[in-house]
Amino acid sequence: MYDDILVPTDGSEAVDRALDHATRLATDHDATLHALYVVDRRVTAANSGDLHEEVVEDLESQGEAAVGAVADAASEAGLDVETHIAHGTPDTEIVEYADEFGIDVIVMSPEGKSPRERIRSLGSVSDRVADDASVPVFLIK
Concatenate the DSSP letters of all residues of 70-117 into one string.
HHHHHHHTT--EEEEEEEE-HHHHHHHHHHHTT-SEEEE-S--S-HHH
**Taking 70 as the threshold, does the pLDDT of residue 118 lie above it?**
no
* Under 8 Å between Cβ of 43 and 90: no
Q: Indicate which CATH number applies to the domain containing 40.
A: 3.40.50.620
What are residue 137's DSSP bridge partners?
106
| DSSP H or E stretch at residue 119 | helix 115-120
CB proximity list for 73: less than 8 A, separation 6 or greater: 19, 23
Could you read off the pLDDT of 69-101 as tens digits, one per residue? 999 999 999 999 999 999 999 999 999 999 999
**Number of domains the chain is built from:** 1
Domain span at 123: 4-139
Could you read off the pLDDT of 22-75 as tens digits, one per residue? 999 999 999 999 999 999 988 888 777 778 888 889 999 999 999 999 999 999
In angstroms, what CA-CA distances link 91 with 24, 34, 65, 97, 125?
Answer: 24, 16, 20, 10, 5
- For the full predicted model, state whether its pTM sits above 0.85: yes
**Taking 80 as the threshold, does the pLDDT of residue 113 lie above it?**
no
**Taking 60 as the threshold, does the pLDDT of residue 115 lie above it?**
no
pLDDT of residue 110: 86
pLDDT of residue 103: 98
